[in-house]
Structure 1
Amino acid sequence: MPPPAQPPAEPPAQPRGSATGPPRRRPAAGWYAVGAVIATLGVIGALALGVGTLVIAVSARPEPVGPAGTFTMPRGDLAVWVRADGLERMTDRIDGMPSGMPGDGSDPSDGGPTGAELGVTCMVAPSGDATLATEVPALRYDRAEFDDWHLVAVLPQADARHFAGDKMQIACSSRTPLLAEAEWATGSKPALLWLIVLIGGAFLVGVGGLAVGAVAALVVWLLRRRSAAA
């Protein structure tokens, strides 16, 4: 009588984590540092762009002219600012006009009177040499405000580049009685486009860095969890 057949031997158990190969390596916890570094770089980049924005804003800050109308010519466009009691109320009154009236937002003159509407006339010249006097054109459409200062005239850089950094004198007047006792100031023309670009860049870099860093950390966490469960 033949001996009973032996049951087939079971294959040896495979190592945990893979049916055909070695166990899956678990990502080291140090990989979390990648996400932290990315997030940190995003924050640093946002801070750097924020500092650049602050520098541009400070450089455009109006500086009151001296007793004799003296000032230092900036290297960019020369901006002339004015501040007077009642000018802010005039601007608010124009902004608050009903729709369909001048100043209701339907034309470029909204937001207060321009330098041309105020009848502003400004002349600049090197200190002690009035023969080289140059007129600073009053603004007809554009405007800007900084605290209580109102931008009324701008001399393009092309017309003032020869005097950049030099001591100058400025004399301004206006046909508007409101500006008879006004204060005048000079500075660089506000670089509004650069301010918008830098503010937007700071936001995108900061938020983007934090988002990418968080995603990188999440990927590492998922891989470690999957390796532990395998």
Structure 2
Amino acid sequence: MTFTLTVSDEVRALAPGFTHVAIEAHGLVNGPSTDASSALLDDAVRRLTARLAGRAPHEDPHMAAWRAAYTAFGAKPSRTRNSAEALAKRALSGAGLPRINLLVDLYNAMSVAHLIPVGGEDLDRIQGGMRLVRATGEEDFVTVAGGAEAVEHPEPGEVVWRDDAGVTCRRWNWRQGPRTRLTERTVSAVFLLETLAPMPVPEAEAAATELAELLAKSSPGARLEVCAPVSSGAGA
């Protein structure tokens, strides 16, 4: 990959079972949600329902591991859920999954179907590489509150994704900032799938492969590279 993702030693120590798989994509074609992306989201809800077999999302072993990781860095997982659990809870509530835009619909569908936190970052808006670190509490997180731009700061010790300009996602994968979100103008992106033990690494690889196939289908001619899984015990 030409784009760099690094995981700090402090995060590796906090979650030794952490693995991430990244897809770097260039030449993407984004746009509004389509009938096809909407159908994928509906199918993801069906797959999730079958996977859980009547359990609540937080009762799934993978989601339980994420709750334990959130608790370990001081977050309250019942209030600030990881992105996959939050989407799954919404999907099963009857509210349905949101339709955002084509690319976001694709990665949200894979997140729900596989019950894996999946995020997408606009590479043209990232400054330098991305790093998963434990925050000092002084970093800037630019968000929107009340319709206006606002700057927040993570809690000291909070796990965050950041680049050279500041925090891009708070509480690991809880809330992404607007600066790097995928919009209808996005042409280059990195998609990140994050798992914890006990989820087998091949399952993360299968989800990444499925997402890459969907991206290739929706953006013919796009250049896609799926990186090998990187675990906490290895370099990033």
Determine which structure has the larger strand proportion and give its number: 2
Q: Check whether TM > 0.5.
A: no
TM-score (norm. length: structure 2):
0.22
Q: TM-score, normalised by structure 1?
A: 0.22
